[in-house]
Chain A
Amino acid sequence: MAEDAQRKRRSFLAALATGLALVATGELFWVASAFIRPRKRRDMRDRREGLIVAGPVETFARDSVTAFPEGKFYLVRLSDGGFLALHRRCTHLGCTVPWDEEAARFICPCHASSFDMRGAVLGPPAARPLDLFTVRIENGIVKVDAGQVIERQTFVPEQVTHPSARRRTAAPPPPRRDG
């Protein structure tokens, strides 16, 4: 009986030691991964600095594309007067897409994906439209939150911010109406 108890105790202790060793190994990897993992604070700093004041609404002509290299986006004003902020990163393999004025489309230099003014895919291999940033229009000033990338599967009209219609702040409506 005593021997049996001893054997049980020993196998229990062996299992305990093995378990603790596994836990310790796990902790080692956990700590290591915390060092390699992208740090949150970097992103938060990005987000604070990410708000870019693009300028008054009327400085942007309809049917125009303006590049903002510091925010890594293009501010697009569509023909109906609405604004879109398109991430310049191709959704295929991450290359930077330039706006081709003559062809009136974004053409990726890496694999020739093309996107229209709204960022929707015109030509493969890219499968998704260009990513978006949130556009806000406060008191007739266009501001873009370039810290937070918004992925989308297709273009829908709700993604467009119009100078008069969509207000996110409690500020009074802008005095001027832009057409």
Chain B
Amino acid sequence: MGEVPEVPERRGLLRSIWHSIFRGPVVPRDERERRRVVLIHLPLHLRPTQVPEAALRYSRTFGLGGMALVLIGLLMVTGVLLVFVYKPSPEDAHGSLLTLQREVLFGRLVRNVHYWSANFLVVVTCLHLLRVFFTGAFHGARQFNWVIGLLLLLGVLLSNFTGYLLPWDQRSYWAITICASMASYVPIAGPWLQRLVQGGSEIGASTLLNFYAIHTTISPVFILILVGFHSWRIRKAGGVVTPPVVGTPDRVSFVPNLLMREVAVGLGLVAGVLLLSVFASAPLGAPANPGMSPNPAKAPWYFMGFQELLLHFHSLFSVFVLPLAAAVALFLIPYLRYDAEPSGVWFLSAKGRRLAIGAAVFGLVVAPVLVIADEFIFTRESWLPGAASWLRSGVLPVAGLTLATCALAFALKRRFAPTRGEMTQTIFVLLVTAFAVLTMTGVWFRGRGMALTWPRSQPASAVTEIAEAEE
């Protein structure tokens, strides 16, 4: 052996195959190898070799971005499985889900994991957006990444929305009907938009096929590409945002310090989703019946805020002006002019935190009061009976609320002298709280005929039981 100097060590076939795949240590033994594994292994090379010690704290991010990634992974795996069973046509769709749940091994579990992951993804993405906002992680190099994040949120909503129709039960059919009809209130482009969403003059086979195609091809590819872009830009901006330090920050190696924490969060999340999916099933009601609308008929929960708006404001404002204004404001957040704002500090400062909490409490009190007042006091008959509806329930209330918000902002400015960042944050908290209240009102407190009620045993679950009992 020693006589052949070119081959210092002869390996067996299996060992040489192993070494051809993993050209270095897989489990690092010392500090040098810990940095090396990050560089030489494809799954890890997206990550830095070292991270600031301050970035390890869980309360820095609550792992929300990573959780979104894990959920996207779960959705991809379960989604691919579902594609093998699902049939995208009005005649077969509902039946194929029954087949999935009754005849396919773990079919119901896979569908439940897909369902819960999709719903959690909306929640986690929104929480991630709030975290990024409240830790000021949208300045400087991170400016454009905020915009990419918003596009990702749009992608997540598009995925959820197109997936919502696929079971083709009463719930999904009428939810999409309502959303498509809401689109028709957009000025000028409305009817065209409605036809585009429906793929025809009404919801039918072409709607289902279009939604299926978008759900299984366009939106996942869109999300995957943007997730890569989003992560890459976080890396370029120096990792997660951390509070400014004097001198050089303490750095620790990525493996195992951050990696193990991330793996723990990811595995915990997967375990949680699996556990929930074992005990709580995704709803599947009676097959879609275009001749009978359920009462009440509601949009998917993440769009209920808009449907609730439609109950209070003229359609032009609730479907077009207000959402457009909110979207523009969201996109502009990183481009507003701020004083030098600290990044990586929750709520900017102690004053910022106090103002934010105050705004949240204020919103939680005032928004329900306004909803109830609009329902019972400013009814259409008693409030300005002669005026046109666009004036009575459009321009006037919107102008009034805008003025009230401005007055509040002015009063806060006089009283607390906040910085621009703290002021923006306070208004942001107020608006987000108000929208959350509207969403919760729509989801939980709207009963028959969309009248305000206390949440009772949901009629939707009764419908599910009927469908289950059919066979």
Which residues does A use to contact B, with CB under 8 Å? 36-39, 42-43, 46, 69, 72, 88-90, 92-98, 108-112, 124-125, 127, 149
Contacts and interface: CB of A to CB of B under 8 A. Distances in A.
Main DSSP-derived SS at the B contact region: helix
Contact of A93 (B182, B448, B451): B182
B389 interface: yes
Contacts of A97: 293
A149 B202 CA distance: 11
Main DSSP-derived SS at the A contact region: loop
A109 B293 contact: yes
Given A109-B294, A109-B297, A36 B199 contact: yes
A43 B201 contact: yes
A95 B196 contact: no
Interface in B264-313: 290-297, 310-311
B418 to A, nearest CB: 40
Interface of B: 174, 177-178, 180-182, 195-196, 198-202, 206, 210, 290-297, 310-311, 315, 380, 389, 448-451
B293 A38 contact: no
A93 B178 contact: yes
A49 to B, nearest CB: 13
A29 to B, nearest CB: 12
Leading 6 A-B pairs by shortest Cβ distance:
A109-B295, A94-B181, A95-B293, A112-B449, A110-B297, A93-B181
Given A38-B198, A43-B200, A43-B201, A96 B182 contact: no
B180 A94 contact: yes
A56 B182 CA distance: 39
Nearest to A107: B449
Given A36-B199, A38-B198, A38-B201, A110 B450 contact: yes
17 contacts: A36-B196, A36-B199, A39-B200, A72-B291, A90-B293, A94-B180, A94-B181, A95-B174, A95-B178, A95-B297, A96-B290, A96-B291, A109-B295, A109-B448, A110-B293, A112-B451, A149-B201
Nearest to B446: A111
A151 B315 CA distance: 18
A38 B290 CA distance: 19
B177 A93 contact: yes
B178 A110 contact: yes
Contacts of B450: 110-112
A42 B291 CA distance: 21
A23 B198 CA distance: 28
A96 B293 contact: yes
A42 B206 contact: yes
A68 to B, nearest CB: 11
B177 A38 contact: no
A92 B311 contact: no
A176 B293 CA distance: 40
Nearest to B194: A94
